[in-house]
A and B are shown apart, each in its own frame.
Chain A
Amino acid sequence: MKHTVAVQVANESGVLARIASLFSRRGFNIESLSVGQTEKEDVSRITLVVCGSQKVLEQLEKQLNKLIVVYKVSNITNDPAVSRSMAFIKVRADYATRSEIIQIVDVFRGEIVDVANDSVMVEITGDEGKINAMEELLEPYGIIELVRTGKIAMTRGKK
């Protein structure tokens, strides 16, 4: 099962190394990880997507909490939350196919961020399913390059 975990950590050098070292040593399987500064300058937030049983997840949370640089660990898998990731997809596009591609991208509320003679670059934001669907639809035209961010998430309301 997949879990989404939000981790608040100190914004200082070596923090990611500590977390990566913990995951590799304890054999936790990370599907995606994204990290960035929060509204507080000295705090960063890591959003993790991890695979594993409830028991594995419990150990992961406890082990993370043992790190001095970790301030707070929240499992938000079952909380009402908004989550997004983003992707750039460079897809083959010539005179004949370009407008079709633009139409598809429009439907997905994506954006064309670069146009070249024989390709376009698409920016798409959404949950995992949406990005997968976009990728599938563009596949027949020929995907030249694809890059995806990890997921970021935030719980709804006050919490």
Chain B
Amino acid sequence: MTERCTGAEIFVKSLSREGVETIFGYPGGTVLPIYDKLYDSDFEHILPHHEQGGIHAADGYARSTGKTGVVIATSGPGATNLVTGLATAYMDSVPLVAFTGQVPSHMLGTDAFQEADITGISMPITKHNYLVQKTENLARIIKEAFHIAGSGRPGPILVDIPKDIMMQEVEFAYPDRVELRGYKPNYRGHPLQIKKAAKKINQSRKPVFYAGGGVIISGASSELRQLAEKAQIPVTTTLTGLGAFDERSKLSLGMLGMHGSTEANMAISHADLIIAVGCRFDDRVTGKLDEFAQEAEIIHIDIDPAEVGKRVSIEIPIVGDVKGILTELNKKVTEKSSNGWGTQIQGWKDMDRRQYRETGKNGRLSPGPIIEEIDSLTDGDAFIVTEVGQHQMWAAQFFNYNRPRQFITSGGLGTMGYGFPASLGVQVGNKDDLVFLLAGDGSFQMNIQELATAAKNNLPVKIVILNNQYLGMVRQWQEMFLDKRYSSTCLRRRADCPPHCSEPDEDCPEMIPDFVKVAEAYGIKAEKITKPEDVKPALERALAEPGPYLLDCLIEAEENVFPMVPPGGSLYEMILEEESE
């Protein structure tokens, strides 16, 4: 059955057909026809205060719900403001469809007002993109976009729609299936490879699971748990894999890699078999590649064949959907009881030295206890969203993640400014759940304008800023590897400060801005805390507040993240703690 519709009407109808409920979007000249139709539609439309905020929010929505996020921006600057968000989603395999307006077809290539070649720009940071050339193609392209975004290894798709395409009227019928000759993801793992893998697992004496974000995307957490428990295999996860395995389990080793736990990095270094699941051997995970897991054979399970063998040679590759493959393995792997390997791992657990202090120097706040307090006050049940930097690593280390999609962070791209808008997207997608944003004083300012979005939509995100008045992670590297030359990392620094300064003190200028005042300007309740005994009551006040709440926690300025595998170092050569004080 067909009917005559304009491109803009087709857009709205097609999105309904895809089951879209929520759109994050910012209007502009070339998307006017679409916005005119959205005015009467049933979608929940969230207006961010910068397109970058919009796409990160759609990303947080997608990661936390598993649904495909939708974002709209206008042509030119609207479209280019999506670039960081597309790259962020691409790196972490997040299903997004971004729609951009474009100048009318006949003006393409003329440097028209607000024209930018966004399909050209976004080519290397999208799974696929489209420039719609005929209104007749729009429905098919939207159908394909959602299909590609959410299937196989998910990723962002951009659809660029010239304004005249939105206005032209054509016959409309939404296609009920897609036919893409060049896109057929392989879901089923090769049975022979699965058999070989099961045999290896049964023979191994010191196996370790290395689980990445793919386990969460595939919805394979319970299959992973079953297999780990059945064969008593300890599990370490990547940053984006946190929550794929319940960290309260005895078999959990926490996170591995540059700021991973002692037990995770030591287990990887001493294992005889690594079962890598839904992960991609990122450089922050492997450390020095030549010395990564030297004693182990590796089974790599992933849906993207290009990740298998990309950085590390693999003994048994299995390409396919993690969930299905783990289910098959479960049938073939024999039960084992706890053994010497478990005892050896317990030894490393006992010496774990995540830098944990009750208080910082001069009685200042320490990040560990704040994060643990959030864990305990929320019964470990809140969504934890982070920005990027030291606070992100502390959030990864000190909270015990116990369910998939609980921890939302920009892993691959490491996008400062991601967390706050993403936390709003998480809250939009999970209205009844508790959402905490852990932010640094640097990254929070990269999309601070979204305080307006939180306030206007009454999104009750609890914002906790771990404020050390530094770009802390960069400062840590300067302290450790660049002789404490704090080049451009002190956020208290003013134009009249001396050119070199490694020891800020009480006489230094106040940091700009005062986050409490900023929040209040947006009508958001806020307070600053400085003493350890204030942490719990302040968090309780935040939880009691029905709306958003900002807690500015002034923490020890020069606290570092440990353990740390120095850049280019091997996983077993961790720096465990501060040399001497």
Q: Is there contact, CB below 8 Å, between A21 and B183?
A: no
Does B192 reach chain A (CB closer than 8 Å)? no
Q: Is there contact, CB below 8 Å, between A68 and B123?
A: no
Does A27 reach chain B (CB closer than 8 Å)? no
Q: Is there contact, CB below 8 Å, between A62 and B306?
A: yes
Q: Is there contact, CB below 8 Å, between A68 and B182?
A: yes
Give, as a whole number of angstroms, the nearest-CB distance from A157 to chain B.
25
Contact of B182 among A14, A55, A63, A67 (CB under 8 A): A67
Does B500 reach chain A (CB closer than 8 Å)? no
Give CA–CA (A139, B409) in the complex, Å: 62
Does A25 reach chain B (CB closer than 8 Å)? yes
Give, as a whole number of angstroms, the nearest-CB distance from B377 to chain A.
44
Does A147 reach chain B (CB closer than 8 Å)? no
Residue-wise interface mask of A (34-72) relative to B, using a CB-CB cutoff of 8 A (1 in contact, 0 not): 000000000000000000000100110011011111110
Q: Is there contact, CB below 8 Å, between B305 and A65?
A: yes
Q: Is there contact, CB below 8 Å, between A68 and B180?
A: yes
Contact of B148 among A10, A25, A59, A68 (CB under 8 A): A68
Give, as a whole number of angstroms, the nearest-CB distance from B487 to chain A.
30
Give, as a whole number of angstroms, the nearest-CB distance from B53 to chain A.
27
Main secondary structure of the interface of A (DSSP, over half): helix
Does A18 reach chain B (CB closer than 8 Å)? yes
Interface size class of B (residues with CB under 8 A): 10 to 19
Does A96 reach chain B (CB closer than 8 Å)? no
Give, as a whole number of angstroms, the nearest-CB distance from B128 to chain A.
5
- Which residues 305-331 of B have a CB within 8 angstroms of A? 305-306, 309-310
Q: Is there contact, CB below 8 Å, between A69 and B182?
A: yes
B residues near A17, Cβ cutoff 8 Å: 120, 123
Give, as a whole number of angstroms, the nearest-CB distance from A26 to chain B.
9
Nearest A residue (CB) for B133 = A13
Does B115 reach chain A (CB closer than 8 Å)? no
Give CA–CA (A69, B119) in the complex, Å: 14
Q: Is there contact, CB below 8 Å, between B131 and A14?
A: yes
Q: Is there contact, CB below 8 Å, between A71 and B181?
A: yes
Nearest B residue (CB) for A58 = B309
Nearest A residue (CB) for B319 = A62
Nearest A residue (CB) for B304 = A66
- Which residues 83-139 of B have a CB within 8 angstroms of A? 119-120, 123-124, 127-128, 131
Contact of A18 among B123, B131, B180 (CB under 8 A): B123
Nearest A residue (CB) for B123 = A21
A residues near B309, Cβ cutoff 8 Å: 55, 58-59
Give CA–CA (A63, B124) in the complex, Å: 12
User: Using a CB–CB distance below 8 Å, which chain A residues touch chain B?
Assistant: 9-10, 14, 17-18, 21-22, 25, 55, 58-59, 62-63, 65-71
Given A14-B131, A67-B182, 18 more contacts at CB 8 Å?
A9-B182, A10-B181, A10-B182, A17-B120, A18-B123, A21-B123, A58-B309, A59-B306, A62-B305, A66-B304, A67-B128, A68-B127, A68-B148, A68-B182, A68-B183, A69-B182, A70-B182, A71-B181
User: Using a CB–CB distance below 8 Å, which chain B residues touch chain A?
Assistant: 119-120, 123-124, 127-128, 131, 148, 180-183, 304-306, 309-310
